[in-house]
Structure formats: structure tokens, C-alpha cells
Structure 1
Amino acid sequence: MPPRTRRNELSSNQLKEEGNKAFLNSEYDKALTLYTKAIQIEENPIYFNNRSQAYFYSDDLELALQDCNKALLLNPNYVKALTNKAQILYEMGYIQDAIQCLEQMENHSLEIEKHSNYYKSLVLQSLIDQDELARQNGFLEWLKNGQAHFPKIQIECYSEDYRGINAKKAISSKEIILFIPRSHMITLEMTKETSIAKKILQYKLDLISPKHSFLSIFLLQEKANQDSFWQPYLDILPKSYSNFPIFFNENDFEWLKGSSFLKQVKDKIIDLKKDYDNICKIAPEFLQYSFNEFCWARMTACSRIFGINIQGIKTDAFVPLADMLNHKRPKLTSWCYSDEMQGFIIETDGNIEKGQMIFDSYGSKCNSRFLLNYGFVVDDNNANEVNVIIDPDGPIPLIQLKEELIRDTLQFPKSFKLVIDPEDVNILDLMSFLRFLLIKDQNDLIDLLGKKLYFKPAKISFVSIQNELSMWNQIVNICTHSLNQYPTTLEQDQEIHKICELTINQRNCLILRIGEKKILQFYLKFGNKMSQLFLNFNIIELTKFQLNQDNYNYLYYLNRIINQLKMKT
């Protein structure tokens, strides 16, 4: 070994630092070269440990382990090398060796203790989940035997109730990470071939959700057949959906008190029961499956199927393994059915690092849809919405004339969706309907009709200042009433979210109602601002208000009102 001189030490240290830079930039080959040069100058345990990590991230576990051993030979108390060795042993499948490696050190540091406990918990979890592991292995083997291809991804269990797909190796952009042949996909057309499905088609049964029902019937029938070709896939599906609201218990429902979402859940259960009962009427053999089992199958269908196009024909399908990608926006992947490859493919939209969870996007949806159909919610979801009810408690002015003009009967209660965007069609429809409902002057109605034979109340942009004031007062009343239905305020919910330990269902319900209350408070504030403006209306003050940067939320609305006023004068 060359004599250690200050010049050599500096040179080797510089090489190590350059190697570190390359490592941090994921340039592992370059890092290996630099660390090797540093080691040739000085056999320092740090250099061996660093090179071990470069080998590790290059998927060369044997060489990584050799370098860790060399580092520990030079410094047996080198904690970082010891924890790295444990990680390498774990990745090689030697979890007990990883634990022994950590426990061989006489003076355990907190770092060693933490890693040791982590691997022990994995051992315990692996003992608990032997059945799960066996199901996973059987499922993956079934896919591989069918010529499915997924060399760089793997199933990962992040908790007892949370599985996903992560990268086994680094993945480049535009790389196909999954191919599932058509032979291993359950398409809607296949599910229509069951005996019960044929009866549904024969009797032209009017189901609320026929597509999901066909898929659900197929799942239940195949699940009951232990010799089914699809058994490896069925075995890997969730056994229950306790995080889906239709399976909530009474304690969970308490967290939805006051929310309009509660009605959506109850309506969903009623719809499911109608479909179940109707299927049983024309196919009594379906009674062998309980309503609860039918609900399980329906939730499996609505949360896992893909809408695809096969040879120009739109259909829906279960795609095994692909349905394990969790949701996140912006999406990391794109998927489609490839007629050329005769199977379903997933391609990356960007580079994905080793160990990174791989996400799909389920689209832009409000939390009520996510929770109802997928069993989760999204924090700070800009697509949130809340249902509000219009149900006048007094006589509607000019109701007979209004019904004649719209050629329809005004029926109440009437539901509308509020979203955070004041320019959204749902908000414009609500405002238009309220304007129409609150018109008191017959001449205003006649002016709106113009030369048309009839009109739709959803197309009214402006009537008069007084009408606009009445509309905003009504919106304030609607939002106030809706907020008063909740047992807690928005501020209280936000505090609960910060300080309380909650179950998954409690947390999801809390985040959902926080989103609802934010929308209601937004329009409560909006309504109060506009009511003040229109109460003592002055076009100059309105213009000043419009030009104030603090009032940007109201800008588009006020522009429309000013333009309408100019047209009327």
C-alpha cells in the first residue's frame, strides 16, 4: 500500500467528493470509477462503504456486500456501513442475517436499534402475511405463464390495507413497464356470456348499473369456482372494502353528519339493493350470493376496471396488476390497449427512480366521488364539490307564468352542485335558476322571453340589480343553512385534523367535510360581498371594487355584470 502522505489523502478525498457528486446525480458508473481510484490511493472504510452504495444502486448486490465487509473489517464500529450491510442482506432476501448483522455490535446506537427494530417488524409482518405472499407469488407466476411482462416493477405492501406498485429498478421515460395479454383480461363482453347475464339480456332487465352488474356477476361466479382460470387474480383482490362508505359502521357515519354526501351513500346502497333484487327475481340462482357479496363485487368493479378500446370497440375490463397502481396527479404513466401487441400496456411519462411508487391518475374528481367509488380522498382537492338544496319556504312570485314560459312544472326540493370555481357551469346554472325563481316583475319575464316561444331558466345571465341582490341573499341563506347542519365548524375540523389520531375512515370523512365547508364559506363570503355592493348600487363603486386586486375572485362575475348593465343602458 502506498505511504500515506497529505497529498495522497487530499487526492483520495477529492476523488471521494467527486464520486459523491456523481452518486447524487445517479451517475453510478462514474461514481464507481472515482471511488475505486480513491481506494487505490487509500483503503479507507468510508470509500469502501460509498462504493458499496454505488454497487447497490447499480443492482450489483454481491459486490456491494463485499465492499461493506471490507469497510467493517477496517472499522468494525462503522455504523453507516453496518446499516448499509443490513439493507443489502435484506434486499438479497436474508432478513434474519440482516438482524444478526445489526445485533453483533456490542454498543447499540439509536440508529442501530432503529434499523434492527425495523427488520424485526418486517419479520413479524412476513410471518403474518405468509398467505398474502403466497397469493402474490401465485398471481405473479400466473401472469408470467401467460406471457405478461413487468421486469422492473413489483407489488409493495405499504401497510395492512395499502398496496401499490413500485419500481424494482430505475425506469426511463417512455418505457413500457407492464404488458398484460388479452388472455389475462376480463372484458365486459366476456362477462355477458354467463348464464345469469344472458337472462338479464333476455328479459331486458332495467338495471341502474348494468355494466358493473355484469362484471360483478362474473367475479362472484368465478370466485365460487376453485378451478377457475381466474382464481390467482381473484385471490389477490381485497377481501373487504371497509374504507368504502357503503360498508361504513354507525361510528363512521357519525363523521358525515351534516354532509350532503351522506345522502349519496344511502342512495348508492338503495341502488345496489334494487339491482341485486332485480337480478334475483329473474335468476333465483343468484340468491346463493348475499347482498353483501354483491356489494363487494360491485365495489371491485367500479374501483378497478379500465375503459379501453379494442380494435375500434369501446369496452371495459379488469386488467390484473395494472389495477394496483394508486392515484396521484399529475400522472406518472399512460395506458392503453395495444391492438398491435394484443394486450394492455402501461408506459412511463417520465423517469422513475428505483424504489419509487408508481402512480396512475384516476382523473380529476371531487372527494365525494373518490370516497364513494375508490375509498380514499385527496388533500386540498381543487375538484371538490358540495350539494346544496333549493326548497322555497314561501310562495314563488309569478309561478304560474314561469311554468308556462318554461313549459314545465317547478319541482322542489332541487339540488345543485357548488364548486370552488365561480365560472363553472354548475355555479352559472344555480345563479340562473335563482334569478328566474326570484323575478317579481312580469315585464322582466316577458323581456327574457323576447321572440322565443319558451326559455330555459339555466340560461339567464342578468335581470336587474334588485334581482341580483335577491339572488345573492338567497345564496347566503343556502350556504348558512348548509353550514349549520354540521356539528362542527370548519376551524374546529381543521384543528381536529391537526391534533387528533384518527382512523382511516374518520380522516377521510373529516377531509371530505373540510372540503365541503371551504366551498360553502367561499360562497358565503362571495354572497355577502355582492349583497353589500348591490344593496346601495353605484356603478362607480362597483368599478372600483372590480379594479381592487384583493377582489380577484369576483373579477369574471363582475365583468359580466358590468357588460350586462352597459347593454341595458
Structure 2
Amino acid sequence: MGKNSKNKNKSASNKNQSAANVTTHAHDAQSSTKQQQQHQAPIKRPTLTLQKRNELSSLINALLEIGFKQPANPKEEWDQYLEIQTLLHRVQILEAPLRRTSSNPTTEARLANIENFYRWATENGLRFDGVRIAQFQGYELGLEATRDIAEEEVLFSIPRKLILSEENMDLDYSPTQFGSMSNLKLSYVLMLEALKPDSFWKPYIDLLPERYNTVLYFTTKEMEMLRGSNALTAALRQCKAIARQYAFLYNCTVKASRADKFNSMGQTFKEQFNYDLYRWAVSTVMTRENLVPRSRPLHSGDDSASQESETIAALIPFWDMANHRQGRVTSFFNIETQEMESSAQFSFKAGEQIFIHYGDRSNADLMIHNGFINPTNPKDYVCIKLGLGSSDPLLEQRAKLLQMMQIAKNTELQVLPPPKYISSELLAFVRVFNMNAQQLEHWITSERAMDLLHVDCALETTLESKTWQYLQTRLMLLLRVFPTTLEADEEQLAAYKKGELYLCYVEAMLLEYRVLEKRVLAAALDYAKQRIKT
């Protein structure tokens, strides 16, 4: 599946990056006093009535209440999601006047902003050769080679000055403590910059999508397409977490005491903060962030060594326009030059799209956090939840043996695509789960307990048979949970690709994801059946 959103939680950060302080973007010191006054003049923005604020406060309290409530089962988890969506829908209606007017509602509008972005970026140190931002079918925007490019050739260098991170936070207005959550700090900084008409990063922000294909933008009908899937719980939890964070931040900002003193930007944020803005900022960060080293110590007492090892989330203009293709990481932050450097992971012909590698992730992770999937993902997997029963009389022995192999007694373990099918940890867990007391004692006292991780480990025939029979049964149950069969989904996907069935991008992505997950499970099931026969 192509990608409209672009996540770069990329593992490119061996030499990583950060950003310049927002105070460096003030108007030129040579500006006249009159110009400065004009620059600082307040902008008339819509506000909400006291009645709407009171209703919002009630909705916020309801979101917080359900946000901290742990579901007892999958049905309750789904019901909570529906309740949260109902509350957020009402929130969005009330906050409609506060929605940020985007200058880039379409891909065409974003393309129209490219020249302004180039001018801004090059004036501030961006260096690139043989690369341009272009539109690609199925991807919206990406990077295109304007000439033949050799593998390992440096594509571009981006100075720290252009990188947006928590280090650009307005220190005069920080409504709450985000702790170590650097990605949330970055989302907050992005919201502040998006509300500034004269933001240093405005040319970059004008290139960002207005909305994304992450789960935060799924309709309930689209989320319904994940019923039975391994990815559903993670998707629901993501939506719940963001709704809870929005409600928390609302209470820390909008409901702050009138006695609290804010600078002009803080007051603007207090009045204009809304769920759509937060969802957009969080999605931008989820789909485009990368970890980079700080430019300065977090605490005045930090030494240089700790400074270099500490990383923070950041947005990197131009570099984050590149789409993903499986390969290897070729982007690094050069500590000496204080620049992000990216080289070609493959050779590219003029006119071809230039891809970078975001890192090894499952399709579930890509779909939830990035808004796209990779149909040929060699690093894909499907998780199975497993745990030892508290009433098991052999619980202590099983847990001890699992601990020897560094496997938790309650965990999620991976079913893999061919040719591996079953991960080592999953196989070892099921073996331990099916052992009797004598077998557990034997392996706990053995020096070869790690052999249980290997598929060809020498085990008693009865134990090995029980292991593969358990896996077969579990895989069959996972496939039966889906409301549709693999064959039915494959027929529907084929009809879509032939143009015989209309689906929007997200619906098509979800259908293909479902097919890919079922194929992984079905292939592992066939493998388990073969192991039983042998």
C-alpha cells in the first residue's frame, strides 16, 4: 500500500539532531519601532462563549473519567472507544470556530508552497543536489531525483537551525510538565508555531498535510474493519490515549486560573487550543519525527558526555518529505557540522522517487502510527497474547524457566511470515506452558535451557506434539475471530485493484492489512500442521 502520511520515528539517530531557539526568529533587530508594534499587534481570533466553555468542561471531565478507566474485556474496550468518539464529536462541534485555517488543504495547495519553502530553507542553510519535492501517485508528496544518483551519494544536509524540537519551547509559557515525553513536548511546540502568523517555521508548516491517515482520523466504520485483528486493541488504545492527553492539556491551559499570567502567545494558545489542532500536531509528530541529540544539556549540571547521549524528538524539514522503502538507514546527524546528512540507500535514475528506510516495523505499527502499510514487509509479524494462569500449580516453575530465557510470564509474542513462521520466544513459551513438573525441573536445572528457543531442540515426542497442537489450535482460533474469511477478503481486494470496487484510501489500506495479517496466521497454521505430522 502506498503512503500518504510519513512517519519517521526513524532509527537514523546514531549521530542525530535538534533545533534552534525560537527567539532567533524574531524580526530583524533593524526593524523600526512602528514595524515591531505592527508585528506585535494582536490578531482578532474567534473565541468561545461562556456557555460553550461550560459545556466543553463537562465533556472534558467525561473524557478524563473514561480515559483512565481500564476495560475488563474486548467488548468493553470497544464500547469505550465508541463513547469517546461520541464525546469528541460533540467537542469538535463546539470548537469548530477555533479550527486553524490551513493554507494547504490539498496536495495542489501544498505544491504551490514549495518555492517559498525552498527559499526559506536555502536561506537558512539547507543544501541539496539532484533532489526536489514532487507529487507521486499513491504517496501525495515525496522526493524525486532530478538526475541519476549513485548509491551512497549525499543527497542533502540540513542544519540544526532548521530542525524543530522541544528546545524551541516558549519558556515563558509552558502550561504543564510533560516529563520525559519528548514527542508530546514536540507536539506542543508545533501547535504554538502553527498558531503564530509569523512563525519562523511557517514555510515548513505550510507544506505539512492538513490531515493524516493515522487511526486518530479513522471513522468508527473504518475502525470496525479491524474487528478480530491483532491491531485493533493497539489502535483503540492509541485513540484513547490521545483523547485523554487532549483533555488533560485542556485542563492545564484553557481552564487555568485567570490569575495566571501568560505572555501573548500563551494567551493565544489558551484561547485557541482545540482537539483538531492537537490531533493534527500529534499525527504530524507520529508520522514525521526522529530522535536527535540535544544541542544543550537538559540540566546545567550535565556534562558533555551525557549531553551527546541524550536524544529528543524533532521534525526535520525537507528530509521528512522522503517516503519509506525497506532497506537500511542512511541518514545521520553529523555532530561536527551540526547537520543532518542523508545519502542514497540505492542508486536512482532521474525522475524516480527517492526513498529512505524508516526502520524495521510491523505493518500494524506502520498502519497505526504512520498511516500506511508495506505489502512486502519482510519484518512484519502478528502478536499473540500469552500468559500463565494464576491458578496454575506449576506457575512458579514455569515463570522461573521463562525468566531464564528472558521471557515474561505475561506477554505478546510474534507469529512471523515465511520462512520462520513461529518466533523463538513464542515457541519456547508454548513448550514451557505444556511441560509437566518433571520436565520443568529437568530444564530448570539444565545448562542448556536456551535450547528451548530453537525449533530443532531435542524434546520428548509427547511434549513436542502438545506444543505444536497448542499452536495449531491457537492459530485456528485467531483466524476464526475475524468476521470475514481470508478468501473473502482476497476476493474483495482483487476487485478493488481491478477497479471493480470503490474504496477510499483508508478502507483499502485496512482491507489489505487484514489480508496480510490473515496470510501470516494461515501460513503459520499450515506450518504447525506439518510439524504435527512429522
- In the alignment, what sits opposite 1:366? 362
One-letter amino acid of the structure 1 residue matched with residue 485 of structure 2: T
Question: Structure 1 residues 525 and 173 mapped into 2: Cα distance closer, same or farther (>3 Å)?
Answer: closer
- In the alignment, what sits opposite 1:252? 222
Question: Structure 1 residues 160 and 463 mapped into 2: Cα distance closer, same or farther (>3 Å)?
Answer: closer
- 1:301 matched to 2:285? The reply is yes
| Map 1:249-328 → 2, pairs under 5 A | 249-283=219-253, 284=255, 288-309=272-293, 312-315=308-311, 316-328=313-325
CA distance in structure 1 between the partners assigned to 2:198 and 2:132 by the alignment? 26
- In the alignment, what sits opposite 2:492? 496
Contact kept, 8 Å, 1:170 with 1:352, in 2: the verdict is yes
Question: Structure 1 residues 225 and 399 mapped into 2: Cα distance closer, same or farther (>3 Å)?
Answer: same
Identical counterparts, % of pairs: 22
CA distance in structure 2 between the partners assigned to 1:526 and 1:260 by the alignment? 20
One-letter amino acid of the structure 2 residue matched with residue 443 of structure 1: Q
- In the alignment, what sits opposite 1:355? 351
Secondary structure at 2:113's aligned position in 1? Answer: helix
Contact kept, 8 Å, 1:310 with 1:339, in 2: the verdict is no
Please say which structure displays the higher CA radius of gyration. Answer: 1
CA distance in structure 1 between the partners assigned to 2:108 and 2:399 by the alignment? 67
Contact kept, 8 Å, 1:397 with 1:437, in 2: the verdict is no
CA drift at 1:405:
7.5
CA drift at 1:359:
1.0
CA distance in structure 2 between the partners assigned to 1:368 and 1:192 by the alignment? 35
Aligned partner of 2:384 among 385, 388, 392: 388
Name the count of aligned residue pairs: 394
Structure 1 unaligned spans of 5+? 1-125, 534-569
- 1:166 matched to 2:144? The reply is yes
- In the alignment, what sits opposite 2:417? 420
Structure 2 unaligned spans of 5+? 1-103, 257-268, 296-307
CA drift at 1:401:
5.7
- In the alignment, what sits opposite 1:530? 531
| Map 1:198-237 → 2, pairs under 5 A | 199-200=176-177, 205=179, 210-237=181-208
Question: Structure 1 residues 132 and 531 mapped into 2: Cα distance closer, same or farther (>3 Å)?
Answer: closer
Secondary structure at 1:195's aligned position in 2? Answer: coil
Residue deviations 1:121-157 (CA, integer Å, cap 9, x gap):
xxxxx9x876434422222221122132234322112
- 1:329 matched to 2:326? The reply is yes
TM-score normalised over the length of structure 1: 0.61
Contact kept, 8 Å, 1:438 with 1:470, in 2: the verdict is yes
- 1:185 matched to 2:185? The reply is no
| Map 1:97-136 → 2, pairs under 5 A | 131-136=109-114
CA drift at 1:462:
5.7
CA distance in structure 1 between the partners assigned to 2:460 and 2:233 by the alignment? 36
- Indicate the structure with greater helix content: 1
CA drift at 1:218:
0.2
TM-score normalised over the length of structure 2: 0.65
- In the alignment, what sits opposite 1:481? 477
CA distance in structure 2 between the partners assigned to 1:456 and 1:174 by the alignment? 40
- In the alignment, what sits opposite 2:515? 514
319-328 vs 383-392, which deviates more? Answer: 383-392
Residue deviations 1:206-235 (CA, integer Å, cap 9, x gap):
x7xx11101000000111111111111111
Across the aligned residues of Structure 1 and Structure 2, the Cα RMSD in angstroms comes to 3.6
CA drift at 1:164:
0.7
CA drift at 1:378:
0.9
Question: Structure 1 residues 339 and 194 mapped into 2: Cα distance closer, same or farther (>3 Å)?
Answer: farther
One-letter amino acid of the structure 1 residue matched with residue 319 of structure 2: A
Question: Structure 1 residues 456 and 281 mapped into 2: Cα distance closer, same or farther (>3 Å)?
Answer: farther
Residue deviations 1:167-224 (CA, integer Å, cap 9, x gap):
2233344443322222111134334857327x416xxx4x7xx111010000001111
Residue deviations 1:440-484 (CA, integer Å, cap 9, x gap):
3x22222222289xx999869665221211111111111000001
Contact kept, 8 Å, 1:406 with 1:457, in 2: the verdict is no
Question: Structure 1 residues 527 and 134 mapped into 2: Cα distance closer, same or farther (>3 Å)?
Answer: closer
One-letter amino acid of the structure 2 residue matched with residue 450 of structure 1: T
CA distance in structure 2 between the partners assigned to 1:223 and 1:192 by the alignment? 13
Question: Structure 1 residues 524 and 171 mapped into 2: Cα distance closer, same or farther (>3 Å)?
Answer: closer
